[in-house]
Chains A and B, each alone.
Chain A
Amino acid sequence: MKNKSQTLLLMALPGILYFLIFHYIPMIGIVLSFKKFHPALGILGSPWIGMKNFEFILRSGALGRVTINTILYNIIFFLTNDVLAVFLAIFIADMAKRSIQKFYQSILFLPYFLSFVVLGVFAYNLMNYEYGVINTLLQSLGMHPVDFYNTKGLWYFILPLFNIWKYVGYSSIIYMAAIVGIEQEQFEAARIDGATKWQTVKSIVIPAVIPTFVVLLLFRVGQMMRGQFDLFYNLVGNNSPLYDTTDVVDTFVFRALVNNFDIGIATATGFYQSVFGLFLVLGVNALVRAINKENSLF
């Protein structure tokens, strides 16, 4: 029996090594949350300083700000993107020709393939103060240009819009899969009963999509402490006037590391994020388990 699984174990070895080297061993570095890092002394040699790093991020107000922003954006992103995706999926699934469906699906899916750096260029092209398309348009209408990159309140709208642009096609594919799974007899029956399209959507299609919506929502709640780093960093970057409304945990940690080389602060914030995130996942899973055992992840 032992011999039998030896080959399999050997085959899994490269993958096991990968996860050990790039995921498990680095976890040891979490101890830096409680240390003052000296490059010369290394991770284990650096002196302990207790909870000082955590006290600092708590007192500076940074922790509260980035936590609220991260959670708030995740909620806005999910609601705006997924509700729109549901309707796009419903509308596209209903289109008569397969070729037309494909055509629209492809266009909506295209942005998913473009990098966030390219997305940053698109944003610059649209919103640049001097040359941006939106300001060009506003000025030609005799209106004042908008200084997007210095107006922090606007970013509660700008970021969700670019998030939709990037992901709505992707999400609508998921909902399409749920709609395609509906039995044709149900539509047939509704048609014979003389139901309008709107009624069919309301009483057959939307109820069929809701389970998928809820599963994705729960998944997202579990991921709520993680930000869309690429999105935020390529749109906002190191533009400090916008930090109040755009700084999320991931961008904060990144800047603490790359700009300030504040190893203790960055590690402590990352650790807080991981632990908070883990509790969210466990919480969601316990909730799902309580409602319906089969849908729980573990």
Chain B
Amino acid sequence: MPEDILMDIKRDYVLSRIRAGERIDGRNFDEFRKVEVKTGIIEKAEGSALVKLGNTQVVVGVKMQVGEPFPDTPNMGIIITNAELVPLASPTFEPGPPDENSIELARVVDRGIRESEAVDLEKLCIEEGEKVWIVFIDIHALDDDGNLMDASSIAAISALMNTTVPAERFGVGEDFKLPIRDFPISVTSLVVDDRILVDPCRDEMSVGKNLMTITSDEEGNVVAMQKSGSYLMAEEKFYELLDLSVAKAKEIRENVREQLKGGENGEDEES
């Protein structure tokens, strides 16, 4: 596979630059690529967001439906997260049922949102034990230039914040904004030799998918973690990652919050 040979060449290049204390795109080791967030891009969805993380692009759409609650949580709405790595987004993605990578992506994004209790699920109960809102979060990758994980989790929370519950359409009252009470942000890093590369791009991942994702909430608590990739991580490296990821999440959260605010103002001006 030509992709593999190219990757071998890139690997040597990436490694030599890292050993020289540099990243191939000139970023600092703890620097994210430029984050761009646009919400409300799909009118038919209850909420949506397009996130660009450098050249990586992801769309998340939120759709809602009325359904039955789970028996053990009769007064709570339901979140269902799904990810599709469509072949359009990368030469290595293939059509077909979700593979382990897309399942992992969806589950880690889901965990950040669920465990931070970002969506107030009790407010999504229509009739206890009978009817609740089901929130479908669908992650649609458009261009995988590395770190789909963080692009997807930023897109997911942004789309949720953009979501209006379509109560009128379902004949269960007036439409209302989806109640959001936290702002989880995931930070994924590549662990190479003794270095930590925050927000790795596709070419950097040619050295191996030695990834660690740490998601934290607004207060700086850790709400989800996932070591991903066949590698062994030194304990001290993990502690370093932990502090770094929580600090980075704060920075990204403020950046995204500003952009979301800007978007709303823009809409106001037009109307």
Is chain B a partner of chain A in the same complex?
Answer: no
Residues of B within 8 A of A (CB): none
Residues of A within 8 A of B (CB): none
